[in-house]
């Protein structure tokens, strides 16, 4: 049940606070419950500004950002830009303990 609430909350959050004001700077946006992957077509500075602006909102959501022009980690996958495609490999967080 908690997953459904988190999913519904994040849907409204992203619609009101991300997609509406920043749609012109977003190439693609993907979400799994509360994990977001945004393909940004603006500058890195604009991306950092968006994260800062969102973290100033009076909501329980605090965003962290991994902003890179060529490689990002999303869930358990590392995505990188190849010559003509997007490459992927398994990603394990440094804190992973297999417990």
Residues 54 and 98 in one domain: no
Residues 50 and 75 in one domain: no
Confidence at 50, pLDDT banded by 50, 70, 90? very high
78 token code pair: 């590392």
Q: Which pLDDT value is given to residue 96? A: 67
Domain that holds residue 49: 2-67
38 token code pair: 């945004």
Higher pLDDT, 2 or 80: 80
Phi and psi dihedrals of 52, rounded to 5?
A: -60, -45
Q: Tens digits of per-residue pLDDT, 3-40?
A: 788 888 888 998 999 989 999 999 988 888 878 889 89
What pTM did the predictor assign? 0.76
Residues 61 and 23 in one domain: yes
Residues 89 and 61 in one domain: no
Number of domains within the chain? 2
């Amino acid at each position: 049940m908690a997953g459904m609430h988190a999913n519904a909350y994040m849907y409204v959050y992203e619609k009101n606070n991300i997609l509406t004001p920043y749609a012109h700077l977003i190439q693609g946006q993907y979400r799994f419950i509360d994990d977001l992957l945004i393909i940004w077509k603006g500058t890195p500075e604009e991306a950092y500004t968006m994260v800062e602006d969102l973290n100033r909102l009076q909501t329980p959501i605090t965003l962290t950002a991994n902003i890179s022009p060529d490689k990002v980690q999303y869930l358990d996958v590392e995505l990188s830009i190849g010559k003509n495609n997007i490459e992927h490999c398994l990603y394990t967080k440094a804190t992973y303990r297999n417990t």
